[in-house]
Amino acid sequence: MIHTFYARNYGCLVDTEASLTPLHAFIGPNDSGKSTLLHGMRTLVQLAGSHFQQDKGRWRPFEPYLLMTYPSSQPPRKPHDILLECGVDGGWFAIEMGPRGLQERAGERRISDMSAGHDRSNVPRLWETRSVLWRSKRPSEQQILTQLRQVRLVRFDPDALRAPSGLIPETQPVGFLDDRGHGLAGIYFAIRNRNDDAFSRIVDDVRRHFPTIKGLRVKVVTSSEVVLEVELVNGARVEAARLSEGLLYYLAFAALRYMDPVSLLLVEEPENGLHPARIAEVMRILRAIVEESGTQVLMATHSPLVVNELKPDEVSVVTRTAEEGTRVKRIKDTPDFEERSKVYALGELWIAYANGEDEAPLLEAPSLDPRHSRR
């Protein structure tokens, strides 16, 4: 599990550190760096596990933020002076991008050194290199790398969830084809064939939360493609193209619980498209993923309803200034938290004191009356 994450010169993360729990949420205003934190951790884990695919000469599916313009008030930085580092059980792992290319370190010893391998007149785009990271066989380093074996990031899009998808061979892991959720129908086909009890549990949950639905089907439309379809209690059948966004989002989160596990699951705005009552259920699903598979789940959210489902040490407030870049602080470490938490639920506390721009009222210990924090 990642206990701490540190980034230097990665997008808006100029000099940023975050302490993490097995289930953790980043809250804060738009453009504060919440998504960049998730993308930084995805880049780090992908490099640790060498999980890449070649697509027309480019590494997929990530693009690290290697270019950034810094305020004139900050001292100049070396080109490619980028560092991503995390603390895990038994040690730490770091990726540093400098003039000589990529350096990968675990514990106290550098275990890889990779050159950028193309025209030095341009800023190296690391994901386009064709080098392969060397894997250490030292037990202590393997213990570290095992905790960073694979990552999945999701930011679901209803059109992607509706789309027909191919079948997943028995020899391949079950998972989405991209961040937006392409392949959902094929995932449900695989869940039904590999774990009929899991498919039945999902259907039972769907019936309970969506009373007009009688059943869930995976309809074969060609010899190699399937789509989702639901049957209503009145006997009518609704194809994926006409399914509500809320139902599609719920089905996507429900499927996550039965996919091949990863060490790190990153979720952008889990509240999107969901009825408030379904948000609590999705949070229960995400907590179950943590408890059942040991996957660490980190999310970026704007929803106080998401925050209400979490504990104080599971929430961090993210702010950003032109002078310092992104900063991360546990909500329980904000001024007068104990007193404030007696008045507000966790999500209400945040929304009452956030001014929509920089969360200053929450971080600067204003009066307990949120009206006094407004200007």
For residues 145 and 93, give the distance between their C-alpha atoms in angstroms, rounded to a whole number.
8
Among 184, 190, 188, residue whose Cα is nearest residue 158: 184
Q: Which of 275 and 374 is assigned the larger pLDDT?
A: 275
Residue 213 is predicted with a pLDDT of 96
Q: Is the pLDDT of residue 116 over 50?
A: no
Determine, yes or no, domain membership for 81. yes
Task: State whether 202 and 236 are in the same domain.
Answer: yes
Task: State whether 80 and 197 are in the same domain.
Answer: no
Task: State whether 53 and 134 are in the same domain.
Answer: yes
Residue 371 is predicted with a pLDDT of 38
Residue 174 is predicted with a pLDDT of 93
Residue 142 is predicted with a pLDDT of 75
Task: State whether 282 and 134 are in the same domain.
Answer: yes
Task: State whether 138 and 68 are in the same domain.
Answer: yes
Side chain identity, residue 348: E
Number of domains in the chain: 2
By mean pLDDT, which of 99-108, 207-216, 266-275 is the weakest?
Answer: 99-108
Determine, yes or no, domain membership for 368. no
By mean pLDDT, which of 1-5, 21-25, 110-114, 165-169 is the weakest?
Answer: 110-114
Determine, yes or no, domain membership for 217. yes
- What is the C-alpha R_g of the chain? 22
Task: State whether 223 and 110 are in the same domain.
Answer: no
- Where a domain ends, among 228, 246, 261? 261
The share of the chain scoring above pLDDT 90, in percent, equals 51
- pLDDT class of 99 with cuts at 50, 70, 90: low
Domain that holds residue 234: 152-261
By mean pLDDT, which of 34-43, 73-82, 236-245 is the weakest?
Answer: 73-82
Beta bridge partners of 216: 230
Average pLDDT over residues 283-309: 96
For residues 187 and 226, give the distance between their C-alpha atoms in angstroms, rounded to a whole number.
10
For the stretch 195-254, pLDDT in tens is: 889 999 999 999 999 999 999 999 999 989 999 999 999 999 999 899 999 999 999 999
By mean pLDDT, which of 62-66, 214-218, 291-295, 366-370 is the weakest?
Answer: 366-370
The enclosing H or E element of 30 equals none
- Where a domain ends, among 261, 290, 310? 261
Mean per-residue pLDDT over the chain, rounded? 80
Task: State whether 315 and 218 are in the same domain.
Answer: no
Task: State whether 145 and 67 are in the same domain.
Answer: yes
- pLDDT class of 69 with cuts at 50, 70, 90: very low
Residue 128 is predicted with a pLDDT of 37
Task: State whether 135 and 187 are in the same domain.
Answer: no
Q: Is the pLDDT of residue 46 over 70?
A: yes
Determine, yes or no, domain membership for 342. no
Q: Where are the alpha helices (DSSP H) in the chain?
A: 34-49, 139-146, 158-162, 184-194, 196-209, 245-256, 276-293, 304-308, 337-343, 346-353, 360-363
For the stretch 158-192, pLDDT in tens is: 999 999 999 999 889 899 999 999 999 999 999 99
Q: Which of 120 and 127 is assigned the larger pLDDT?
A: 127
For residues 294 and 51, give the distance between their C-alpha atoms in angstroms, rounded to a whole number.
20
Determine, yes or no, domain membership for 254. yes
- pLDDT class of 147 with cuts at 50, 70, 90: confident
Task: State whether 109 and 7 are in the same domain.
Answer: yes
Residue 16 is predicted with a pLDDT of 94
For the stretch 338-360, pLDDT in tens is: 888 888 888 887 776 665 454 55
Determine, yes or no, domain membership for 69. yes
For the stretch 58-67, pLDDT in tens is: 555 555 554 4
Task: State whether 4 and 125 are in the same domain.
Answer: yes
Task: State whether 158 and 57 are in the same domain.
Answer: no
Beta bridge partners of 13: 10
Residue 148 is predicted with a pLDDT of 87
Residue 139: CATH number of its domain: 3.40.50.300
Determine, yes or no, domain membership for 374. no
- Where a domain ends, among 239, 261, 283? 261
Determine, yes or no, domain membership for 197. yes
Average pLDDT over residues 86-109: 69
Q: What is the DSSP string of 101-161?
A: EEEEEETTEEEEEE---S-TTS---GGG----PPPP--HHHHHHHHTTS-EEEE---HHHH
For residues 287 and 23, give the distance between their C-alpha atoms in angstroms, rounded to a whole number.
7
